[in-house]
Amino acid sequence: VQLQACGGGLVQPGGSLTLSCAASRRILSHSTMEWYRQVPGKQREMVASITRTGATNYADSVKGRFAISRDNAKNTVYLQINSAKPEDTALYYCSADFLDVVTPEAARYWGQGTQVTVSS
Protein backbone atom coordinates (compact mmCIF):
# COMPACT_ATOMS: atom_id res chain seq x y z
CA VAL A 1 0.00 0.00 0.00
CA GLN A 2 1.59 3.23 -1.15
CA LEU A 3 -0.81 5.63 0.55
CA GLN A 4 -2.72 5.02 3.77
CA ALA A 5 -5.60 7.38 4.56
CA CYS A 6 -7.43 7.55 7.87
CA GLY A 7 -9.31 9.90 10.14
CA GLY A 8 -12.79 9.82 8.67
CA GLY A 9 -15.88 9.59 10.80
CA LEU A 10 -19.07 11.31 11.86
CA VAL A 11 -18.95 15.04 12.49
CA GLN A 12 -21.74 17.45 13.30
CA PRO A 13 -22.50 20.39 11.01
CA GLY A 14 -20.13 23.19 11.90
CA GLY A 15 -17.65 20.76 13.41
CA SER A 16 -14.09 19.85 12.52
CA LEU A 17 -12.26 16.73 11.48
CA THR A 18 -8.71 15.98 10.38
CA LEU A 19 -7.86 13.39 7.76
CA SER A 20 -4.36 11.94 7.49
CA CYS A 21 -2.56 10.29 4.61
CA ALA A 22 0.69 8.44 5.25
CA ALA A 23 3.02 7.96 2.31
CA SER A 24 6.47 6.62 1.68
CA ARG A 25 9.23 9.21 1.82
CA ARG A 26 10.02 8.72 -1.87
CA ILE A 27 6.43 9.32 -2.91
CA LEU A 28 6.00 12.36 -0.69
CA SER A 29 9.25 13.97 -1.84
CA HIS A 30 8.39 13.61 -5.53
CA SER A 31 4.69 14.37 -5.52
CA THR A 32 2.03 16.97 -5.48
CA MET A 33 -0.35 15.54 -2.91
CA GLU A 34 -4.10 15.83 -3.37
CA TRP A 35 -7.33 15.06 -1.59
CA TYR A 36 -10.37 14.01 -3.60
CA ARG A 37 -13.89 13.15 -2.57
CA GLN A 38 -16.67 11.18 -4.16
CA VAL A 39 -20.33 10.62 -3.47
CA PRO A 40 -22.34 7.80 -5.06
CA GLY A 41 -23.46 8.66 -8.56
CA LYS A 42 -21.08 11.60 -8.94
CA GLN A 43 -17.61 12.05 -10.32
CA ARG A 44 -14.66 12.18 -8.00
CA GLU A 45 -13.65 15.80 -7.42
CA MET A 46 -10.41 17.25 -6.17
CA VAL A 47 -10.87 19.37 -3.07
CA ALA A 48 -7.31 20.36 -2.19
CA SER A 49 -3.73 19.98 -3.35
CA ILE A 50 -0.28 20.85 -2.04
CA THR A 51 2.93 20.89 -4.04
CA ARG A 52 6.36 19.74 -2.87
CA THR A 53 7.16 23.36 -2.09
CA GLY A 54 3.96 23.89 -0.11
CA ALA A 55 1.81 25.79 -2.59
CA THR A 56 -1.85 24.99 -2.00
CA ASN A 57 -4.97 25.02 -4.11
CA TYR A 58 -8.61 24.46 -3.13
CA ALA A 59 -11.92 23.81 -4.78
CA ASP A 60 -14.25 26.79 -4.49
CA SER A 61 -16.69 24.71 -2.47
CA VAL A 62 -14.18 24.23 0.38
CA LYS A 63 -12.08 27.39 0.16
CA GLY A 64 -11.79 29.05 3.55
CA ARG A 65 -13.00 25.92 5.38
CA PHE A 66 -10.51 23.19 4.47
CA ALA A 67 -6.76 23.30 4.96
CA ILE A 68 -4.23 20.94 3.43
CA SER A 69 -0.77 20.58 4.91
CA ARG A 70 2.18 18.24 4.79
CA ASP A 71 4.66 17.11 7.41
CA ASN A 72 7.67 15.81 5.52
CA ALA A 73 9.32 14.58 8.72
CA LYS A 74 6.31 12.32 9.38
CA ASN A 75 5.72 11.50 5.70
CA THR A 76 2.11 12.55 6.16
CA VAL A 77 -0.36 14.87 4.47
CA TYR A 78 -3.35 16.25 6.34
CA LEU A 79 -6.72 17.65 5.41
CA GLN A 80 -8.28 19.77 8.11
CA ILE A 81 -12.04 20.08 7.64
CA ASN A 82 -13.59 23.02 9.46
CA SER A 83 -17.14 24.38 9.48
CA ALA A 84 -18.29 21.05 8.08
CA LYS A 85 -21.45 21.01 5.99
CA PRO A 86 -23.75 18.10 5.15
CA GLU A 87 -22.66 18.45 1.52
CA ASP A 88 -19.11 17.57 2.60
CA THR A 89 -20.33 14.03 3.22
CA ALA A 90 -18.31 11.80 0.90
CA LEU A 91 -15.64 9.17 0.61
CA TYR A 92 -12.33 11.02 0.77
CA TYR A 93 -9.24 9.79 -1.05
CA CYS A 94 -5.66 10.96 -0.91
CA SER A 95 -3.64 10.83 -4.09
CA ALA A 96 -0.08 11.44 -5.17
CA ASP A 97 0.82 12.95 -8.54
CA PHE A 98 4.31 11.46 -8.63
CA LEU A 99 7.14 12.63 -10.87
CA ASP A 100 10.78 11.63 -10.65
CA VAL A 101 12.66 13.29 -13.52
CA VAL A 102 15.88 11.40 -12.73
CA THR A 103 14.68 7.80 -13.24
CA PRO A 104 12.38 9.01 -15.02
CA GLU A 105 9.08 7.89 -13.62
CA ALA A 106 5.61 9.33 -13.51
CA ALA A 107 2.67 7.75 -11.74
CA ARG A 108 -0.60 8.39 -9.96
CA TYR A 109 -1.07 6.71 -6.61
CA TRP A 110 -4.31 6.40 -4.66
CA GLY A 111 -5.02 5.61 -1.09
CA GLN A 112 -8.10 3.75 0.08
CA GLY A 113 -11.03 6.00 0.85
CA THR A 114 -12.02 7.20 4.27
CA GLN A 115 -15.67 8.08 4.88
CA VAL A 116 -16.66 11.48 6.21
CA THR A 117 -20.28 11.92 7.26
CA VAL A 118 -21.58 15.33 8.32
CA SER A 119 -24.83 14.94 10.18
CA SER A 120 -26.51 15.92 13.41
Q: What is the pLDDT of residues 2-24, one digit of tens each?
A: 899 999 999 999 999 999 999 99
Strands (E), the chain: 3-6, 9-11, 17-23, 31-38, 45-50, 56-58, 66-71, 76-81, 90-100, 105-110, 114-118
What does pLDDT average to over the chain?
95
pLDDT in tens, 17-60: 999 999 999 999 999 999 999 999 999 999 999 999 999 999 99
